[in-house]
Copies of this chain bind each other. A is one copy, B any other.
Amino acid sequence: MILVETSHPGNIGAAARALKNMDLQELVLVRPRQFPSAEANARASGATDILEKARVCATLAEAAADCTLVLATTSRERDHYYRVLDVRDAAQRAVAAAAQGPVGIVFGPEQSGLTNDDLANTHALLRIPTGEHYASLNVAMAVQIVSYEILRARGTAVPVAPREVPLATAQNMELMYAHLADVLEEIDFRERTQNGSNLHNRIRRFLQRAELDGNEVNILRGILSAVQQRRRRAGA
């Protein structure tokens, strides 16, 4: 990630943290207004190591010298000269290209964006979609979104893991539904409705949706048993 002429040191720190959060390492700063800085360190939080090893360059050409693919961020939807890639596609592209050589992604100054000169080494533009009413993203936020999409593109995102307690078997669910039907009948709930079986199905559906585990089914059955016992003790 290459940040050009960043004005606010806080943004440099926040960008460092954004990189490290997404398992990226290399930050290059072209003519930062103030660096190093205490504010950058504070905003970097646990990512001050990224700041310590950040490279500071006088020109973008120097910063991007060893890159085999350079993408520059833009707010434009189209461009006369460059392909404009959506950030998601750009991230895929960057990850694929990184197998072959360093990839640079360039972020312009907060106020003005990149100049045409800055684009000299660019292979394509990268665009982050925004709303219409206020399209100007903070530069560190842009770094965060790009880094996030790169992490996703790398496929390192850990897949959502299974539940710790196994889900109840269909058979256990059936036993619980039968128990529920008994209790509903005992408390005359069935007769209070126009269409008892339909109602029971409604309950089934939302309990199915909840994807209950074995413990949770036991809790429900405990409640059902308690209702039955209290009624019997009450001599009903």
Chain A residues within 8 Å of B, Cβ to Cβ: 10, 14, 17-18, 20-24, 45-47, 77-78, 80, 83-86, 88, 127-138, 140-141, 144-145, 148, 151-152, 155-158, 160-165, 184, 186-189, 192-193, 199, 202-203, 206-207, 209-212, 215-216, 219-220, 222-223, 226-227, 230-231, 233-236
Knowing A129-B152, A210-B210, A223-B184 are in contact, say whether A46-B136 is a contact too (CB < 8 A): yes
Roughly how many angstroms separate A145 CA and B137 CA in the complex, as a whole number? Answer: 12
Sort A-B residue pairs by CB-CB distance and give the 4 closest, nearest first.
Answer: A23-B131, A234-B236, A129-B157, A210-B210
**A212 CA / B83 CA spacing, docked (Å):** 11
Q: What are 17 A-B contacts defined by CB distance under 8 Å?
A: A14-B138, A18-B138, A21-B130, A21-B131, A21-B135, A22-B131, A24-B131, A78-B160, A84-B160, A129-B155, A131-B151, A141-B141, A203-B219, A203-B220, A203-B223, A207-B210, A209-B211
Question: Closest residue of chain B to A86, judged by CB?
Answer: B160
Contact B77 A158 (CB under 8 A): yes
Nearest B-chain residue to A83, judged by Cβ: B211
Question: For residue A212, which residues in chain B have a CB less than 8 angstroms away from its CB?
Answer: 206
Q: Please, how many angstroms separate the alpha-carbon atoms of A199 and B43 in the complex?
A: 42
